[in-house]
Copies of this chain bind each other. A is one copy, B any other.
Amino acid sequence: MKIIVDAFGGDNAPLEILKGAADAHKEFGYDILITGDEGKIKACAAENNIDISSMEIYHTEDVIGMHDSPRSIASTHKNSSMAVGLQLLAEGKGDGFVTAGSTGAYVVGAHRFVKEIPGIKHAGTGAVMPNDEGVFLMMDCGANLTCTPEVLNQFAIMGSTYMEKVMGVKNPRVALANIGVEETKGTETLVEAYKLMSQQDYNFVGNIEIRDIPKGGADVVVCEGFTGNVILKMYEGVAGVLLKNIKDIFKTSAKTKLGYLLISSNMKDFKNKMDYKKHGGAPLMGISKPVAKAHGSSDARAFKYAIKQVADYADSGAIDIIAKAVSKE
Chain A residues proximal to chain B, CB less than 8 Å: 131-132, 142, 145-146, 177, 179, 186-187, 209-215, 226-227, 229-231, 233-246, 249-250, 252, 255-256, 258-263, 266-267, 270, 273-274
Question: In the complex, what's the smallest C-beta–C-beta distance from A209 to chain B, in angstroms?
Answer: 7
Given contacts A233-B209, A239-B242, are A256 and B249 in contact (CB under 8 A)?
A: no
> Does A145 lie within 8 Å of B186, measured CB to CB?
yes
> Does B187 lie within 8 Å of A214, measured CB to CB?
no
Of A229, A250, A262, A273, chain B has the most CB atoms within 10 Å of the CB of A262
> Does A249 lie within 8 Å of B234, measured CB to CB?
no
Partner of A249, one of B132, B230, B231, B266: B266
Task: Report the Cα distance A233→B262, complex, angstroms.
Answer: 33
> Does A235 lie within 8 Å of B233, measured CB to CB?
no
Partner of A262, one of B215, B237, B242, B255: B255
23 intermolecular pairs with C-beta atoms under 8 Å apart:
A142-B179, A179-B233, A210-B230, A210-B233, A211-B233, A213-B234, A213-B237, A214-B238, A214-B240, A227-B230, A230-B231, A234-B234, A238-B242, A242-B242, A242-B274, A245-B274, A246-B246, A246-B270, A256-B263, A256-B266, A258-B262, A259-B259, A259-B261
A226 contact set on B, CB distance < 8 A: 179, 186-187, 227
Whose C-beta in chain B lies nearest to the C-beta of A132? B241
Question: In the complex, what's the smallest C-beta–C-beta distance from A241 to chain B, in angstroms?
Answer: 4
Partner of A187, one of B146, B177, B235: B146
> Does B229 lie within 8 Å of A227, measured CB to CB?
no
> Does A187 lie within 8 Å of B262, measured CB to CB?
no
Task: Report the Cα distance A227→B179, complex, angstroms.
Answer: 10
> Does B229 lie within 8 Å of A210, measured CB to CB?
yes
Given contacts A210-B234, A226-B179, A234-B230, are A131 and B241 in contact (CB under 8 A)?
A: yes
Whose C-beta in chain B lies nearest to the C-beta of A266? B249
Given contacts A179-B226, A226-B179, A231-B234, are A241 and B214 in contact (CB under 8 A)?
A: yes
A241 contact set on B, CB distance < 8 A: 131-132, 214-215
A260 contact set on B, CB distance < 8 A: 259, 263
Task: Report the Cα distance A263→B255, complex, angstroms.
Answer: 7
A243 contact set on B, CB distance < 8 A: 242
